[in-house]
Amino acid sequence: MSAIEESILQMGRQARVAAYRLAQLSSEEKNAILRAMASSIRANAAALMQANDKDLAAGVEKGLSAAMLDRLRLDEARIEAMAAGIDQVATLPDPVGQVMDAWERPSGIRIEQVRVPIGTIGIIYESRPNVTADAAALCFKTGNATILRGGSEAIHSNRAIAAALASAGAPEHAIQLIPFTDRESVAALAQMDKWLDLIIPRGGKGLIETVVSLARMPVIKHYDGICHLFVDQAANLDMAVKLTVDAKTQKCGVCNALETLLVHEAVAAKFLPMVAAALSAKHVELRGCEKTCAIISDCIPATEEDWDTEYLDLILSIKVVSSIDEAIDHINTHGSHHTDTIVTEDQATAERFLRSVDSACVFHNVSNRFADGGEFGFGAEIGISTDKLHARGPMGLEELTTYKYLIRGQGQVRK
């Protein structure tokens, strides 16, 4: 066994012990520690930005894109948002101990189904250092011990954030950050099923597929965010322009950003010049089907690969479709089952779209960018699951719990 494997194995043992301790904490005790974590993030803001400067400098040297550097960047506002997110988690109802159901059997035994922590959770993520704080806070609130493995591009930032969190009085080893960034650490974590109950990879498709292929424990996947917006023939076109621009440009390097725009042929001639002008003002590169290119003269012809691409950049593919059926079929075929939107004033058409699109989040007349745990009222999110079991969509506190049955009686025996 290598030194890295032995180190991570020891972290797993420590996490299991910490999980049993966490399960004994009351909601009040957990909330007090969470508020202390938020205060520590604020108090260490200068140190966090200094550490982040090292990561940004290394990122520039490596040639990271502007979008990737933006994902990596910490400033005063983002650090305050991290702290505020932890504070918000402290105010949310604690799902642990919640009685989900209760009933009594003819034998007289009483059964309760009660929410409990999952136990120990490994989280592997890339680029965004705020995930360190978000994941730690959500897992801590739900009584789960956490082993975090961030990407090499954010190692200095992640270490600084983890150190700030560790100084807030949580049980020892409740939140651990793997100090190694090589792929051996991913393999070691993914195969540690004796000590780890669940693993959640957040990052590129390659990372997720690697974890899935190696993991010996359940995996909750966050695959590509190939998100669509469909402009129906009954759409309010001014609204459609506004939603398209927001979904694509408000923050293009995130998983719920718009990647493919579908436009009904009945409104394409009028709508496409409107949206092209608005997107051009935001410096968005357009790649379109043949019909789109016939209307937008400077549009780049799209390839088949474009329909299956998560750009995470100021690039948008556009396809003109003949019907809602074609739109739904395109989304279910080329999408990643993440987040998709219809813009229409026809309620029946909207309901058909909402029912038929097989995605975790399906919106009507709302920007894709609202597919977010905070916007859903969950507080900071652990990620957006594109799985169907056991969690789907933005993962908040309840998705970090499981349940057990508590059975009470007065000496009943089975005859």
Q: What is the pLDDT of residues 124-159, one digit of tens each?
A: 988 789 999 999 999 999 999 999 999 999 999 999
Cα–Cα distance, 129 to 63 (Å, whole number): 19
Helix (H) or strand (E) holding 98: none
Question: Which is nearest to 248 in space by CA: 274, 283, 297, 203?
Answer: 283
The residues, ordered by sequence, that sit 6+ positions from 12 with a Cβ below 8 Å of its Cβ are 120, 147, 192, 194, 195, 196
Q: Is the dihedral of CA 359, 135, 38, 98 positive or negative?
A: positive
Helix (H) or strand (E) holding 381: none
Burial of 24 (0-12, 13-18, 19+ CB in 10 A): exposed
**pLDDT band with cut points at 50, 70 and 90 for residue 13:** very high
Least confident residue range of 80-84, 276-280, 381-385, 393-397? 381-385
**Domain boundaries of the chain, sorted by first residue:** 3-220+395-408, 227-370
CATH superfamily of 227-370: Aldehyde Dehydrogenase; Chain A, domain 2 (3.40.309.10)
Cα–Cα distance, 201 to 151 (Å, whole number): 11
Cα–Cα distance, 267 to 265 (Å, whole number): 5
Tell me the CATH number of domain 3-220+395-408, given options 3.20.20.140, 3.30.1490.20, 3.40.605.10, 3.50.30.20: 3.40.605.10
DSSP bridge pairs for 286: 316
**379 pLDDT higher than 70:** no
Question: Which is nearest to 12 in space by CA: 220, 195, 135?
Answer: 195
pLDDT in tens, 246-278: 999 999 988 999 999 999 999 999 999 999 999
Return the percentage of the chain with pLDDT > 70, whole number.
100
Return the percentage of the chain with pLDDT > 90, whole number.
83
Average pLDDT on 389-404 reads 92
Helix (H) or strand (E) holding 197: none
Question: Which is nearest to 201 in space by CA: 177, 232, 222?
Answer: 222
Cα–Cα distance, 109 to 386 (Å, whole number): 39
For 213, other C-beta atoms within 10 Å of its C-beta total 10
The tokens for 414 are: 């089975």
What pTM was estimated for this model as a whole?
0.85
Question: Which is nearest to 28 in space by CA: 119, 87, 91?
Answer: 91
pLDDT in tens, 30-63: 999 999 999 999 999 999 999 999 999 999 999 9
Name the average pLDDT for the chain. Answer: 94
Q: What per-residue confidence (pLDDT) applies to 48?
A: 97
Show the DSSP H helices in 150-236 as ranges: 155-166, 183-190, 205-214
Q: What per-residue confidence (pLDDT) applies to 380?
A: 67
pLDDT in tens, 67-117: 789 889 999 999 999 999 899 999 999 999 999 999 999 999 999 999 999
Q: What per-residue confidence (pLDDT) applies to 223?
A: 74
Phi and psi torsions of 47, nearest 5°: -65, -40
Least confident residue range of 80-94, 115-129, 350-364, 367-381? 367-381
Least confident residue range of 134-148, 184-198, 200-214? 200-214
For 415, other C-beta atoms within 10 Å of its C-beta total 4
Average pLDDT on 193-219 reads 91
Average pLDDT on 179-200 reads 92
Assess contact for 300 and 245: CB atoms under 8 A.
no
**381 pLDDT higher than 90:** no
pLDDT in tens, 230-246: 999 999 999 999 999 99
Q: What per-residue confidence (pLDDT) applies to 390?
A: 85
Q: What per-residue confidence (pLDDT) applies to 357?
A: 98
Cα–Cα distance, 368 to 366 (Å, whole number): 6
**AA letter at 308:** D
Burial 225-261 (b: 16+ CB within 10 A, else e): bbbbbbbbbbbeeeebbebbbbbbbeebbbbbbbbbb
Residues in the chain: 415
Burial 294-304 (b: 16+ CB within 10 A, else e): ebbeebeebee
The tokens for 364 are: 């009507």
Burial of 313 (0-12, 13-18, 19+ CB in 10 A): middle
The tokens for 359 are: 């995605």
For 2, other C-beta atoms within 10 Å of its C-beta total 9
Q: E-strand spans in 79-207?
A: 99-104, 110-117, 120-125, 145-149, 175-177, 198-202
Q: What per-residue confidence (pLDDT) applies to 205?
A: 79
Q: What per-residue confidence (pLDDT) applies to 301?
A: 98
Average pLDDT on 276-292 reads 98
Q: E-strand spans in 161-284?
A: 175-177, 198-202, 227-231, 258-264
